[in-house]
Amino acid sequence: MQIHHLPYADPGEPDVRSGTRFLLWLGRNQLGGQVKSLLWGLLLHLGIAGSPLGVGLAVQAVIDRSGGDLARAGALLAVLGAAIAVGDTMMHRTAVTNWITAAARVQQLLARKSAELGSLLNRRVAAGEVVAVSTGDVEKIGWFVETLSRFAAAATTLVLVCVGLVVYQPALGVVVAAGVPVLALAALPLLPRATRRADVQREKAGRATELASDTVAGLRVLRGIGGEDLFLGRYREASQQVREAAVHSARMWALIAAVQVLLPGLLLVVVVVYGAGLALEGRVTVGELVTVYGAVALAHHPLRNFEEIAMAYSFSRPSAKRAAGVLALTRTAATGPAASGEPQAGEFPAGQLPAGQFPPGEAPAGDPPGGDLYDPVTGLLAPAGLFTAVVCGDPDAAGRLADRLGGHPPGEPEAHVSVLLGGTPLDELPLGTARTAVLVQDKDPVLLSGTLRELLDVPSSGRVTPGDALAAARCGDVLDALAQASAEPGGDPMDTRITERGRSLSGGQRQRLALARSLVTDPEVLVLDEPTSAVDSHTEARVAAGVRELRTGRTTVVLASSPLLLDLADRVVFVRDGRAVAVGTHRELLAAEERYRAVVTRETEEDTLVDIEEPA
């Protein structure tokens, strides 16, 4: 896999049983790149390790006054120099490729999981944790994958050097062969403590990031209550804890680095002293002593990879564990009696159960099923092709219900019962089919930066044009504003750039553009959560009429409490305490259901009691 081939057509199914297994899975999936980096690393390290041999032969040739031996030594050094240059260049190239492709694979997996979970992701994982996993953790994971091959090359080189020195000069080679494993493993006793300190640092950094994310998200509220200084103090305290943890961790890594410098120095002193004695005794030549000395002196180069792999694993393991935790999240599977398509007794009035055009799990492959939308938990039924309004009274309850209807229920997986579309559990459909069948527009939709044309260029059925959607959402004033903001006089508003999150537009304008985007997709079922909460009453009535007209013959569910919108609905379902308790038209419910009237007309509880008592 090369960088120019990214992104992956399929990043694969990761092993998320643990952070270590996830790291190993990444390494196995880049086996080709790892082998390339290993081979180039061997060329580099063996070139470096062989240089002392060439120097030793050259020194001995000068002592022996042999021109031929000196020329051969020079040729050997030239070949080794070329090997070092080529090996270093190509190893760096392949190692960086491994790093980037591993990070890209993880980012694709996270993006796929985010798209799969939707709004449910933030309810399972804190926003700060999601940010940390998708940024810093991805980099650390890529670092470990990249170091694997370089570490393997360094370890192989050290083994070959020790064996070669024993064969070349047994008296000194045995000393080196005994000392090198000690150098390589000396830092192991320090690693657990260093790892724990690194984990503490990462945990504190994650909490600080989460606190910062929450503070920024709630900045407007904080300013309203005068709480900026309070939260600034909390973040300052959290950041100082991160700094202290980082210093604490750095001290341990500095100790490990010092050990990696000290012990090779001691081995070098031992080799020089012992080798000088052997040379005086005539047991080794000067050239052999220089060769062994050079080999030990250059051993620090591959030994640094031992320290790096230890650091990379210590930092990447918790990162991989967090990434695996996010990737292990799944859309909850339908469970319980209701998942079979058979509502429990008393869940909804008789005669109002779903039509059940398809038996559960037998919907046509690839095509979204048609039919009624039914929620067994609340008893909510939205008949196919009708405009259904839902009144909850509690905005939070309405948001949770919208999530349920879209297949992203809050709560624990084991407590989940799937919504049924045409009698088919939504969770049993392939994700793409489910998304095509039911689209949920959140209460606070997000507009991405780009032109209006790009905003409305979304996957759709093709039956609704952008012009029709904009007209239904009553976006005429938005188009005028974009035309005035165009860089060219009289420019096309469709080509005017919208700033990030639509900051240049008012809340009502953003809301209507998001509604137009949802209308363009033309899903089988469109669920809208308070789609007109940011517009005035006159615009709200026009928007509701436009949506009703455009969605004629398609299933539309609107969670709202505005009388202007409710009066246009084919049917209204009143949900109270998590159950559908009344169904009818808006006017019928106003006349017959006191609790509904209290929610819609904003009557107080005392007013409602008076209305109830008056007939008596």
Q: What is the DSSP string of 23-53?
A: HHHHHHTTHHHHHHHHHHHHHHHHHHHHHHH
Reply yes or no on whether the pLDDT at 356 is more than 50.
no
- The predicted pLDDT at position 416 comes to 66
- Taking the C-alpha atoms of residue 463 and residue 480, their distance in angstroms, rounded to an integer, is 25
- Taking the C-alpha atoms of residue 24 and residue 17, their distance in angstroms, rounded to an integer, is 11
CA angle 243, 146, 190 (to 5 degrees): 50
pLDDT class for 389, splitting at 50, 70, 90?
very high
Tell me the average pLDDT across 347-373: 49
C-beta neighbour count of 587 within 10 angstroms:
12
Choice among 177-181, 256-260, 334-338, 479-483 with the minimum mean pLDDT: 334-338
Token pair 């059940």: residue:
356
Nearest to 286 by CA among 61, 68, 74, 50: 61
- Taking the C-alpha atoms of residue 586 and residue 600, their distance in angstroms, rounded to an integer, is 10
Reply yes or no on whether the pLDDT at 384 is more than 60.
yes
- Taking the C-alpha atoms of residue 487 and residue 568, their distance in angstroms, rounded to an integer, is 40
**How does the average pLDDT of the chain come out, rounded?**
80
More confident residue, 311 or 84: 84
C-beta neighbour count of 481 within 10 angstroms:
16
pLDDT tens digits, one per residue of 525-553: 999 998 888 888 888 889 999 999 999 99
pLDDT class for 297, splitting at 50, 70, 90?
confident
Task: Report residue 525: phi and psi, to 5°.
Answer: -130, 125
- The predicted pLDDT at position 410 comes to 58
pLDDT class for 193, splitting at 50, 70, 90?
confident
- The predicted pLDDT at position 334 comes to 38
- The predicted pLDDT at position 224 comes to 52
Contact 194, 248 (CB under 8 A): no
pLDDT tens digits, one per residue of 203-240: 787 777 766 765 665 555 445 555 566 667 777 888 88
Tell me the average pLDDT across 459-482: 90
More confident residue, 202 or 92: 92
